[in-house]
């Protein structure tokens, strides 16, 4: 359809041009978006419609773009990532724009990644999906369990998660990436955090004053994935004041936590029992593990190292 302003610029009294303009106007007024707006604003007059045709056209076109959204990066709207709102101001039709849900989510993720450097989604995980998974017998149980979680997770109602363990390179992180992408499609916020970097970052955050803010963000994520737990250098502080605080909050709020590790439950408990002060602290490690065991299902991921 020809733009209304283009048609107007060509108007020179010619009957054919007038007919084309009338057809364009009628087609515009038959749009479901415009009909809905006029129904909700019965005080809009014919004169206001005539003088606001450009605004009406822009509103219709941008809303159609949103309904056929190709994704934030390919958004064709005049203001990428923004949706139009049509309103009346002093007997004139006007437009204003608001960030769409994808834009809001992208900005939030950008802020979170600025806050927590170890919050990440590796390149190989960005496109992870259950449709592309190799559902061989080695990973069948893990594939089924992660898919079931992704399809049925209810943060705030059910705090149960998963604990995937196995040798290096068998695809544990990729499975979690598929979970995160599926949850994203369901509108569920997911943090994937590389545990060794996270604990190191938390220690450094004490000096810059961001410790509590980082801790709160991780504690309150709808779904938290701690990748490669057990690969970090253990200290009493990271175990009790960071990991323990996170798990305690998430347990009480019924927020699911998922883990990947090279260790099974018993091996992780021995790892957590190590004390940088010397000796072992088995009771404290046991308390952490009770929270993990009670709220996760342990699944061994088998197979060959896919990175070699």
Domains with residue ranges and CATH for the chain: 4-99 (no CATH), 116-300 (3.40.50.300)
The CB density around residue 195, as the number of other CB atoms within 10 Å, is 21
Under a CB-based contact definition with an 8 Å cutoff, are residues 183 and 152 in contact?
A: no
CA dist., res. 307 & res. 124, Å (int):
11
CA dist., res. 220 & res. 11, Å (int):
60
Where b means 16+ CB within 10 Å and e means fewer, 86-122 reads: beeeeeebebeeeebebbebeeeeeebeeebebbbbe
Q: What is the pTM of this model?
A: 0.66
Say what the pLDDT of residue 112 is: 54
Task: Note down pLDDT in tens along the chain; length 308 residues.
Answer: 455 555 555 544 567 777 777 777 888 888 888 889 889 999 999 888 888 888 888 988 989 888 888 888 889 888 888 999 999 998 899 999 998 888 887 777 666 555 444 566 666 776 787 877 766 667 788 999 999 999 999 999 999 999 999 998 888 998 998 998 888 888 888 888 999 999 998 988 988 888 999 899 999 999 999 999 999 887 889 999 999 999 999 999 999 999 999 999 999 999 999 877 777 889 999 999 999 999 999 999 987 766 65
CA dist., res. 2 & res. 15, Å (int):
17
H/E segment holding residue 270: helix 265-273
């Amino acid at each position: 359809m020809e733009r209304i302003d283009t048609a107007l610029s060509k108007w020179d009294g010619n009957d054919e041009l007038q007919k084309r303009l009338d057809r364009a106007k009628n087609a515009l007024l038959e749009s479901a978006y415009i009909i809905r707006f006029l129904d909700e604003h019965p005080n809009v007059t014919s004169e206001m419609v005539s003088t606001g045709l450009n605004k009406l056209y822009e509103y219709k076109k941008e809303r159609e773009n949103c309904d056929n959204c190709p994704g934030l990066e390919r958004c064709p709207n005049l203001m990428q990532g923004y949706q139009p709102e049509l309103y009346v101001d002093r007997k004139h039709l006007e437009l204003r724009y608001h960030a769409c849900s994808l834009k809001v989510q992208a900005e939030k993720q950008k802020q979170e990644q600025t806050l927590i450097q170890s919050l990440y989604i590796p390149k190989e995980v960005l496109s992870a999906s259950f449709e592309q998974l190799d559902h061989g017998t080695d990973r069948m149980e893990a594939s089924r369990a992660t898919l079931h979680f992704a399809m049925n997770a209810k943060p705030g109602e059910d705090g149960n998660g998963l604990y995937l363990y196995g040798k290096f390179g068998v695809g544990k992180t990729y499975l979690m990436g598929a979970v995160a992408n599926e949850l994203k499609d369901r509108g569920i916020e997911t943090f994937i955090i590389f545990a060794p970097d996270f604990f190191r970052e938390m220690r450094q955050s004490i000096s810059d004053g961001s410790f509590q803010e980082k801790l709160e963000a991780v504690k309150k994520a709808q779904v938290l994935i701690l990748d490669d737990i057990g690969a970090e250098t253990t200290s009493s502080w990271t175990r009790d004041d960071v990991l323990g605080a996170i798990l305690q909050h998430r347990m009480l709020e019924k927020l699911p936590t998922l883990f990947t590790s090279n260790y099974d439950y018993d091996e992780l408990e021995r790892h957590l029992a190590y004390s940088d002060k010397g000796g072992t602290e088995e009771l404290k490690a046991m308390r952490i593990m009770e929270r993990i065991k009670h709220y996760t299902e342990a699944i061994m991921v088998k197979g060959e190292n896919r990175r070699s």
